[in-house]
Amino acid sequence: MLLWGSYLATGSDQPIGRIIKLLPLAKDKDSVESLTTGSAAKFTLASNAVRDLRLLAILKREVKSQPEAVAAVLNDVIETAETVDTARMRKESLAAIDELKQKGPDSKRELTGWGQVGQGALAMGCVVAAATGQIELGIPCVVGGAAYSAGMQYISH
């Protein structure tokens, strides 16, 4: 809010540049707070640029000098402002926030996926050992599988 107040009061491009720096947070998959901050920056830039042609011009100028991650989001902001489709952007942002809240951070989901691969590999190794008659591996397989499964449950919660 302070940055918008500064832009409106002074007409300076500097506050807009600082808001633009928040745009990569709109793609964050690990933190609801970061995703919300980035989505708010994205939405307010688009909704204000719908009514403020000077702001739209600033955004178009700035997109050329931004890193790829920022430019991609900023191009979406510009397109949304030009098509006056802020409802779509708002809906997408809320859906992304809800998904992150429901499924949890991407980093945790990725770790769980790799854990399931490891668990499957351990189980396959135990099945092969049993099929080849290596009964001496039976108890280590049961204990190891249970410990691995318990560890993955602990990590994923």
| Same domain (yes/no): 85, 121 | no
| Same domain (yes/no): 90, 133 | no
Higher pLDDT among residues 139 and 102, named by residue: 102
| Same domain (yes/no): 34, 88 | yes
| Total domains, the chain | 2
| DSSP secondary structure letters along 81-140 | HHHT-HHHHHHHHHHHHHHHHHH--HHHHHHHHHHHHHHHHHHHHHHHHHHTT-GGGHHH
Q: Which residues form the domain of 42?
A: 2-103
Give dist(CA 120, CA 116) in Å, integer.
Answer: 6
Report the share of the chain in percent with pLDDT over 90. Answer: 36
Higher pLDDT among residues 37 and 110, named by residue: 37
| Same domain (yes/no): 99, 119 | no
| Same domain (yes/no): 35, 98 | yes
DSSP state of 65: T
- Rounded to two decimals, the pTM is 0.63
